[in-house]
C-alpha cells in the first residue's frame, strides 16, 4: 500500500476509491520513531509507503475561541485577541484539527526550490501537508512578532504563536524602493 503526496491511497498500484475504506485504514495508521508508517490493528500489522505525509490540509477555518478555562483570555487587548484566535484545519479525509501545543504548525523550506512546505500535526507522529491555497490563507492571517530577539512572521492559534517565516526581511534599494519591481516587470 502507498499514500501519494497528494493524499491519494493506492493498493497494488490502483487507487482506493472507497472513501470509507480509506478512512478505516487512516484510523489505524501509526508512525514509528524511525519514520516508517504502519497500519496496525490488534491482530495484524502491515507497512505502508508514504511519499511525504499521510494527510493534506485542504481547508482552514479561523475564528475566536477561548480554551483553557478563561485564564487564556485574560491580559491586554492584544493578548486577548491572540489567545482567542483558533485555526482549525480540515484534512482530505474530513478530520478536523485545531493548531495548538499538541498540534503544532511547522514550515520546512525545500532545499532545491526554496519554497515553503508547511505541515500541521494531526495525531501523534502523523502530519498533514498544508495545501498551497490553505497556506496562502494562513499567510494572510500572519503577523510579525519578536521571538528570541528576532522579528519573525507567524500565526496565533489557541494562545500559541507558530512561526511560518523566520527569514530576514529583504532590503529594498534605498535610492529607489521600486527598483526591484522594475526588475520583475522587465
CATH of the domain at 46: 3.10.540.10
Kindly state whether residues 142 and 62 are assigned to the same domain: yes
Kindly state whether residues 19 and 64 are assigned to the same domain: no
Cα atoms in the Cβ-side hemisphere of radius 13 Å centred on 124: 2
Averaged pLDDT, 21-39: 97
Kindly state whether residues 161 and 71 are assigned to the same domain: yes
What is the per-residue pLDDT across 111-140, written as a single tens digit (0 to 9) for each? 899 899 999 999 999 999 999 999 999 999
Q: How many residues does the chain have?
A: 186
Q: Is 120 in contact with 130 (CB distance < 8 Å)?
A: yes
Look at residue 83 in the predicted model and tell me its pLDDT.
Answer: 57
Kindly state whether residues 42 and 81 are assigned to the same domain: no
What is each CA distance from 30 to 46, 47, 110, 137, in whole angstroms?
Answer: 10, 10, 25, 29
Kindly state whether residues 73 and 96 are assigned to the same domain: yes
Domain containing 19: what range?
2-50
Q: Is 31 in contact with 127 (CB distance < 8 Å)?
A: no
Any residues with CB less than 8 A from the CB of 93 and at least 6 apart, and which? 7, 19, 22, 23, 26, 55
Kindly state whether residues 46 and 82 are assigned to the same domain: no
Kindly state whether residues 41 and 73 are assigned to the same domain: no
Average pLDDT, the chain: 86
Kindly state whether residues 149 and 72 are assigned to the same domain: yes
Look at residue 180 in the predicted model and tell me its pLDDT.
Answer: 44
Kindly state whether residues 107 and 134 are assigned to the same domain: yes
Please state the domain count of the chain.
2
Kindly state whether residues 89 and 45 are assigned to the same domain: no
Residue 33 CB burial class (10 angstroms; 0-12, 13-18, ≥19): exposed
Q: Residue 167's Cα: distance from chain center in Å?
A: 18
Element (H, E) at 80: helix 77-84
**For residue 20, is pLDDT > 60?**
yes
Round to whole Å and give the CA distance between 130 and 89. Answer: 9
Kindly state whether residues 93 and 117 are assigned to the same domain: yes
Look at residue 77 in the predicted model and tell me its pLDDT.
Answer: 53
What is the per-residue pLDDT across 42-67, written as a single tens digit (0 to 9) for each? 999 999 999 999 999 999 999 887 55
Amino acid at each position: 500500500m502507498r499514500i501519494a503526496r497528494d493524499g491519494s491511497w493506492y493498493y497494488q498500484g490502483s487507487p482506493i476509491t472507497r472513501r470509507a475504506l480509506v478512512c478505516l485504514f487512516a484510523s489505524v495508521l501509526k508512525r514509528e520513531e524511525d519514520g516508517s508508517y504502519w497500519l496496525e490493528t490488534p491482530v495484524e500489522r502491515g507497512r505502508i509507503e508514504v511519499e511525504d505525509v499521510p494527510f493534506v490540509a485542504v481547508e482552514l477555518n479561523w475564528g475566536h475561541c477561548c480554551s483553557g478555562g478563561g485564564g487564556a483570555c485574560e491580559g491586554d487587548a492584544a493578548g486577548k485577541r491572540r489567545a482567542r484566535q483558533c485555526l482549525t484545519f480540515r484534512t482530505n479525509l474530513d478530520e478536523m484539527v485545531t493548531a495548538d501545543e499538541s498540534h503544532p504548525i511547522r514550515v520546512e523550506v525545500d532545499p532545491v526550490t526554496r519554497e515553503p512546505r508547511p505541515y500541521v500535526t494531526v495525531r501523534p507522529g502523523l502530519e498533514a501537508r498544508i495545501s498551497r491555497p490553505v497556506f496562502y490563507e494562513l499567510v494572510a492571517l500572519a503577523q510579525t512578532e519578536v521571538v528570541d530577539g528576532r522579528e519573525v512572521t507567524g500565526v496565533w492559534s489557541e494562545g500559541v504563536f507558530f512561526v511560518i517565516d523566520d527569514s530576514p526581511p529583504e532590503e529594498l534599494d534605498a535610492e529607489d524602493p521600486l527598483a526591484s519591481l522594475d526588475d520583475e516587470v522587465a
